[in-house]
Chains A and B, each alone.
Chain A
Amino acid sequence: MHAKLRLYILVILIMGFGIGLILYKHFALGFPLLPDDKKAVWTIEARIDFTARGDPVIVSFALPPKTPDIVFMKEDFASPDYGFSEVTSPTGRRAEWSKRTANGLQTAYYRLSLYETEQIVPTQLTDDLPAEPEKPEFDEVIKTAAITLLEQVHGRSANTEIFTRELITTLNSKAPSQNQSLLLNEKSSEDYKTHLIINLLAMEGISARIVRGLYLEDGRRRQSLINFVEVYIGGQWLLFNQNTGIHGKPENFLIWQRGDQSLLDVVGGKNSQISFAIIKNVHSTRNLVVSDGMNKQAGLVDFSIYSLPIEQQNAFKMILLLPIGALIVVIMRLLIGIRTSGTFMPILIALALIQTTLLTGIIIFLTVVGIGLLIRSYLSRLNLLFVARISAVIIVVIAIIASISIISNKLGLDQAMTVTFFPMIILSWTIERMSVLWEEDGPREVFIQGGGSLLTAVIAYLFMTNQTVEYLTFNFPELMLVNLALILVLGQYTGYRLSELYRFHSLERRNASGKR
């Protein structure tokens, strides 16, 4: 019992570990499980212009907060001759450029590349609790209008969330009542409206704050931040669009700043202006995750194949496919019962096929082996010692390959040039074995084993060239553990091979008729 139990425990451990790693990489590090997963990467450029007056200049600019659902790939701060520092304060990150003296038109740039992850962020019971709302000081007329409006809205709503929404929609209604017109005078800016909403909510004892953000749209230039209102309801902050009253963060909306701090402070300058430009790029998710992992030095990524130089990585792409080939061979031999010449020769043929493409590869293989067998049958008449003969076969194979290359080149068949990808020693051994097989067991056996090898190779090739398989083996080398576990289980299979169902089929018939 013990040996078998131990094996199964081992298999479960290996498989669990492998699958666990894969899931960890998928869910925690964000590796996509399928290859063609693309992600939009937004590059946002904030351009700050101002005119300096010859005095010391300090430019302080609010930076977007880092949240778990957004990955900042790269942040650049550029401004010639300015000193720069990034300041983190309780109200958020700020960039500070400074210079002893500056004159004339000045420009500072802040560039940010980011992408959204698919991580579901648990609705945070935030630790940034709201301050007690301050009762606003309105003059008497407006105060009355406000109270009337609030009462109307209050009557129409059941809870704070609906109340907020109703309030915003009422303020935005196309046919404003007198109260509304009074509250929102004609010149009201977006900022004014935001503060009005916050103040009105404060009168009801509801905490709210301003949120500035940016709609991410490809190719937009000269954009400015849009105001939203965030209301503290039931222990969490809810975002409301102040023009529609719709609740929730819109898609492709980047929250830049929360709270009433200024977006931009310029000391020693005037006419300061800020504008945003947005570009969208599409990147494969894997690349993003890998570079993110490298930046964060996530152990699993940092100590992985990705840390190797690109050239070695490509080599590994190939090597990591081999276990798939091995699995195919195990299945073909143990479950199907196909006879191959040489246990793992099919994998080597499959590797060569990857280089040459399928059809060309098979034609070349058959040509070389065919010609090789002919020449080998002549060599066998020359009475050579075994080692000398196989060496002679190697040279013959090289000659065949060289002539195929030259002839195909002259004929303009570029594809046949790939013949050099076939491992020559393997080809020579194949020829030698096949020819011995031919002499001893006849051509039938040669075709069975040769065909079996080629069939296995083609199936292995189809799997190894499958994009998904290639992607998975390279990006989830942990799959090797799963593969190993499968092979260990297959090693226990004592049932019939498919070929045996054919081999013994006459037995079944005979016994059936015998019983009748």
Chain B
Amino acid sequence: MLLASAKKLRSLGIIGMNQRNFGLISRYNPRHLYPLVDDKLKTKLLAQKAGITVPKLLGTVQYQHDVKLLKEILHPHDQFVIKPVKGSGGKGILVITEHDHSLYFKPSGDSIQLAEIERHVSNILSGLHSLGGKPDTVMIESLIQLDPVFSDYSYEGIPDIRIIVFRGYPIMAMLRLTTHVSDGKANLHQGAVGVGIDMGSGKALHAVQYGKSISHHPDTRKTFSELAVPHWDKLLQLAAACYEMTGLGYLGADLVLDRDQGPMIIELNARPGLAIQVANFSGLAPRVAAIEALKTIDLDPKLRAAFSKTHFAADADTPSARQLRTRSNDP
């Protein structure tokens, strides 16, 4: 069967695009809060204020004529990441891992000239990667160092951990591993591997690439069964804290593990996608319903993280979708 039956999906608690837009995003995410996460510079400042670790900001370029200054900004750094401040879905991110006078090297080993970096920067400035083509700002961040835990599971890039946070409670997590086909990017569309992570232990549950189940990394051939994300409690707490930081009821927190600095937040997303359900082989709806059924929300992110850890663990007795309906169909 090429198509699943809608009834079956509903009983599994799978949330569809329309329901996400209607019942989660438009209900729990007030529009005026979007700029806090759509503008990565603002997010970064917010996170720093809240005491959350973020990659170090090396510099920004806001105006076209400042592109000339790029060389000076980049000069002291061997490794850096160039990002559009208002980019989405990992678009327009340029990673440089090595720097040799006039040549800059991408993780794949390809070398590019400074002129090409300058062009990339001016493209970002003119809004190529921003939502709606609005003029944008470029930020240059320090490069995240691959945690050795993941060295067997990623190819030419840094894996990140997407955690869906609903009303302050982390409800589902996915590890995104870079592959050769994804060109070192942790983007499932482009062929990165999505690994569902057990909320209770941080261990890998299932893995998918292009929506199909796989058992081992396509490039490193390493099986996922031994994979466990370290610092799991800390990661959950960081994600939970994003709720206070932004006020968004339904958000996707992208975190990474840095070899030296540990867990940090790289990006927040007010419209997280639904691929996480495929990677976890389970639906969001029961978990959303469980949180919606809570009368009060704990003020302490640590307590919320602990709640999620016990309630949404793979071996926990999660209430089935039939018992608990999400409120999205209510008025």
With both beta carbons as reference points, the residue of chain B lying nearest to A514 in the complex is identified as B281
B111 within 8 A of A: no
Bound Cα distance from A439 to B5, whole angstroms: 35
Q: Is the CB–CB distance between A507 and B277 below 8 Å?
A: yes
Checking B8, B10, B126, B278 against A503 with a beta-carbon cut-off of 8 angstroms, the contacting residue is B278
Bound Cα distance from A503 to B92, whole angstroms: 26
Quote the shortest CB–CB distance from B106 to chain A (angstroms). 14
Q: Is the CB–CB distance between A505 and B2 below 8 Å?
A: yes
B296 within 8 A of A: no
Bound Cα distance from A385 to B136, whole angstroms: 13
Contact residues of A between 425 and 466, Cβ < 8 Å to B = 436, 440-442, 445
Evaluate whether A507 and B9 lie within 8 angstroms (CB atoms) in the complex, with A442-B190, A494-B328, A501-B4 already known.
Answer: yes
> Which of the four size classes fits the interface of chain B?
35 or more
Bound Cα distance from A391 to B119, whole angstroms: 17
Q: Is the CB–CB distance between B278 and A496 below 8 Å?
A: no
A3 within 8 A of B: yes
B331 within 8 A of A: yes
Q: Is the CB–CB distance between B189 and A5 below 8 Å?
A: no
A386 within 8 A of B: yes
Q: Is the CB–CB distance between B128 and A386 below 8 Å?
A: yes
Q: Is the CB–CB distance between B18 and A493 below 8 Å?
A: yes
Specify which of A337, A498, A511 lies most central, judged by the most chain B CB atoms within 10 Å of its CB.
A511
Bound Cα distance from A514 to B282, whole angstroms: 12
Q: Is the CB–CB distance between B16 and A507 below 8 Å?
A: no
A383 within 8 A of B: yes
> Interface digits, A375-413 against B, CB 8 Å rule (1 contact, 0 not)?
000000001011100000000000000000000000000
B64 within 8 A of A: yes
B23 within 8 A of A: yes
Checking A3, A436, A441, A494 against B329 with a beta-carbon cut-off of 8 angstroms, the contacting residue is A494
Bound Cα distance from A75 to B5, whole angstroms: 67
Contact residues of B between 202 and 253, Cβ < 8 Å to A = 206, 208, 211-213
Bound Cα distance from A498 to B115, whole angstroms: 46
Quote the shortest CB–CB distance from A202 to chain B (angstroms). 76
Contact residues of B between 48 and 107, Cβ < 8 Å to A = 64, 91-92
Instruction: Please indicate the chain B residues that have their CB under 8 angstroms from the CB of A505 in the complex.
Output: 1-4
Quote the shortest CB–CB distance from B152 to chain A (angstroms). 25
B14 within 8 A of A: yes
Checking A387, A436, A506 against B278 with a beta-carbon cut-off of 8 angstroms, the contacting residue is A506
Checking B10, B22, B119 against A492 with a beta-carbon cut-off of 8 angstroms, the contacting residue is B22
Bound Cα distance from A494 to B26, whole angstroms: 12
B12 within 8 A of A: yes
With both beta carbons as reference points, the residue of chain B lying nearest to A1 in the complex is identified as B331
Evaluate whether A387 and B126 lie within 8 angstroms (CB atoms) in the complex, with A442-B190, A494-B329, A495-B6 already known.
Answer: yes
Instruction: Please indicate the chain B residues that have their CB under 8 angstroms from the CB of A337 in the complex.
Output: 17
Q: Is the CB–CB distance between A386 and B1 below 8 Å?
A: no
Q: Is the CB–CB distance between B190 and A507 below 8 Å?
A: no
Instruction: Please indicate the chain B residues that have their CB under 8 angstroms from the CB of A445 in the complex.
Output: 189
B178 within 8 A of A: no
Q: Is the CB–CB distance between A511 and B190 below 8 Å?
A: no
A504 within 8 A of B: yes
Instruction: Please indicate the chain A residues that have their CB under 8 angstroms from the CB of B128 in the complex.
Output: 386, 436
Quote the shortest CB–CB distance from B101 to chain A (angstroms). 20
Q: Is the CB–CB distance between B17 and A5 below 8 Å?
A: no
Quote the shortest CB–CB distance from B174 to chain A (angstroms). 14
A138 within 8 A of B: no
With both beta carbons as reference points, the residue of chain B lying nearest to A505 in the complex is identified as B4
Q: Is the CB–CB distance between B19 and A495 below 8 Å?
A: yes
Contact residues of B between 305 and 331, Cβ < 8 Å to A = 328-329, 331
Bound Cα distance from A440 to B185, whole angstroms: 10
Q: Is the CB–CB distance between B213 and A495 below 8 Å?
A: no
Bound Cα distance from A3 to B126, whole angstroms: 40
Instruction: Please indicate the chain A residues that have their CB under 8 angstroms from the CB of B14 in the complex.
Output: 496, 500, 504, 507
Contact residues of B between 125 and 139, Cβ < 8 Å to A = 126-128
Q: Is the CB–CB distance between B211 and A506 below 8 Å?
A: yes
Bound Cα distance from A505 to B2, whole angstroms: 7
Checking A2, A386, A511 against B123 with a beta-carbon cut-off of 8 angstroms, the contacting residue is A386
Evaluate whether A385 and B190 lie within 8 angstroms (CB atoms) in the complex, with A494-B328, A505-B2 already known.
Answer: no
B122 within 8 A of A: yes
Instruction: Please indicate the chain A residues that have their CB under 8 angstroms from the CB of B211 in the complex.
Output: 503, 506
Q: Is the CB–CB distance between A507 and B18 below 8 Å?
A: no
Quote the shortest CB–CB distance from A504 to chain B (angstroms). 5
Instruction: Please indicate the chain A residues that have their CB under 8 angstroms from the CB of B328 in the complex.
Output: 494
With both beta carbons as reference points, the residue of chain A lying nearest to B181 in the complex is identified as A442
Bound Cα distance from A212 to B18, whole angstroms: 70
Quote the shortest CB–CB distance from A292 to chain B (angstroms). 47
Bound Cα distance from A14 to B146, whole angstroms: 59
Q: Is the CB–CB distance between A2 and B278 below 8 Å?
A: no
With both beta carbons as reference points, the residue of chain A lying nearest to B281 in the complex is identified as A510
Bound Cα distance from A514 to B6, whole angstroms: 19
Q: Is the CB–CB distance between B329 and A507 below 8 Å?
A: no
Q: Is the CB–CB distance between B189 and A441 below 8 Å?
A: yes
Specify which of A334, A383, A507, A509 lies most central, judged by the most chain B CB atoms within 10 Å of its CB.
A507
Quote the shortest CB–CB distance from A335 to chain B (angstroms). 9
Q: Is the CB–CB distance between A500 and B17 below 8 Å?
A: yes
A251 within 8 A of B: no
Quote the shortest CB–CB distance from B306 to chain A (angstroms). 28
A93 within 8 A of B: no
A4 within 8 A of B: yes
Instruction: Please indicate the chain B residues that have their CB under 8 angstroms from the CB of A5 in the complex.
Output: 331
Instruction: Please indicate the chain B residues that have their CB under 8 angstroms from the CB of A507 in the complex.
Output: 4, 9, 12, 14, 277-278, 281-283
Instruction: Please indicate the chain B residues that have their CB under 8 angstroms from the CB of A503 in the complex.
Output: 211, 278
Specify which of A1, A5, A440, A502 lies most central, judged by the most chain B CB atoms within 10 Å of its CB.
A440
Instruction: Please indicate the chain B residues that have their CB under 8 angstroms from the CB of A497 in the complex.
Output: 16-18
Instruction: Please indicate the chain A residues that have their CB under 8 angstroms from the CB of B126 in the complex.
Output: 385-387
Q: Is the CB–CB distance between B119 and A383 below 8 Å?
A: yes
Quote the shortest CB–CB distance from A430 to chain B (angstroms). 14
Quote the shortest CB–CB distance from B147 to chain A (angstroms). 27
Bound Cα distance from A59 to B282, whole angstroms: 94
Bound Cα distance from A511 to B14, whole angstroms: 12
Q: Is the CB–CB distance between A501 and B5 below 8 Å?
A: yes
Instruction: Please indicate the chain A residues that have their CB under 8 angstroms from the CB of B208 in the complex.
Output: 506
Could you show 17 A-B contacts with beta carbons less than 8 Å apart?
Answer: A385-B123, A386-B123, A387-B126, A492-B22, A494-B16, A494-B18, A494-B329, A496-B19, A500-B17, A501-B6, A502-B3, A504-B278, A506-B211, A508-B4, A508-B9, A509-B1, A510-B213
Interface, chain A (partner B; CB < 8 A): 1-5, 334, 337, 383, 385-387, 436, 440-442, 445, 492-498, 500-511, 514
Besides A505-B3, A511-B12, 6 other A-B contacts (C-beta < 8 A): A383-B118, A386-B128, A436-B128, A493-B18, A494-B22, A496-B19
